[in-house]
Structure 1
Amino acid sequence: MTLPAPAPESPAATTAPDAPPVLPPLAAQAEVLIGRGVVPPESLTPAALRAAAADLARTAPTGSLLVVHPRLLPPSALAGHLRRQAAVRGRPVEREGFVVVDMTDVDDFAPVPGLDVPDTDVYAVAAVDRGDAMANWSPEEAEPAIAARGRSPLTLAEGIHWVLQSPDALARNLCFMTIGSRLRRANGTYDARTPAVWISNGTGRDGSARRGAPKVGWCWWRNRHTWLGFASTTGRHA
């Protein structure tokens, strides 16, 4: 495969990270997860989740994202809890999130080596950014640029948590990839698919009933998309 020419630099590519939608306090995020029945109580009780959020609120920066570890809440279970208000034929409708049909192995996309994901049931992700300045970059191009800025790419589970708490993290032509998660093959190489979260157009196998829905899917490692940035964080806290 021929590697595409590097994405053109622009003033936006060297500015500070884009301001994400404001997240509520960690305690309020815990109540969202509890109230919507996102976390099975046999995996993590409401009391334990509330206690973890309270502990994290003492140390994590203001505006952090609350994340339940994917061993308790995998992306396949989390995606269906996403909600987004969409307009279809001029009428407002609520759409549920989904995983694309050709990503049945979504839960096998694990954090890449070196990513500092805490080995705890609940943790916080600070200063989440959608990475709009890297739109139209490939994952291969974005990975070293994120590291050079002292940031860490979001995992897929973290990205889904973000959209669940803040649906406005997705906007038409402003969605994001989560290249902190990749699928390693048995021979040690990576699958070329890289996960992303965006908005369905309701075409193809998605089906018209999913037009406007939050969508968990994938793009190729060396491909660029004008409507996909690269979500990242300044760090994770446990």
Structure 2
Amino acid sequence: MTSTSPVVSLRGLAKRYGEATVFSNVTLDIDPGEFVAIVGESGVGKSTLLNCMAGLDTWNEGQVILHGRDLQALTGDERALMRRRHVGFVFQAFHVLPHLDVAQNVGLPLMLLQQPAGRHVEEMLHAVGLDGLGGRLPQELSGGQLQRVAIARALIHRPALLLADEPTGNLDPGTAAKVMDVLAAQTREHGAALVLVTHSESAAARADRALRLTSGGIA
């Protein structure tokens, strides 16, 4: 975004499953270039909150405004296009496609947007420390390398918002620290807002803000 408007704004957001409240009264603004960590007890809905930010999940009360658009006012197809253009995802389980090589996995968001990949993929692989590995299949890579593939794929289309759900959860501490270095550095370089859900105190400590989610809100 070229203005100082928040990338994503939550206003009084509440999520329930039947009679059970997952979270409520979540109000939050996240600005361009900001790194926000969200921590909290297991089951409090941290991953669900990320999914709501991207319009992947529904909510019972409140608003989600992404890149200036009220997601609740959009159709399912319009939400999907918003995600494709403006959101990147990094997950604990990597979610790379095993039948595609590294370069094809990284370039997938550009292909979906019908944009040329080529040199952009090579530059992104260099940026995350995967030079020369574009032709390899995912099963030939280590866990740390796979997470770098996921980061490169999430950033290749220069999204306004990057959502990372426990991206170091499957990694040893040394590899996790290196992956966090890449994630933070690349997010800053691309000017994306980064929202990280984590149980890792060391990962949360790197954020500009660390917020705790509870059933009653966020602080």
State the TM-score, normalized to the length of structure 2: 0.26
Q: Kindly indicate whether structure 1 or structure 2 has the higher relative contact order, using CA contacts under 8 Å at least 6 residues apart.
A: 2
State the TM-score, normalized to the length of structure 1: 0.25
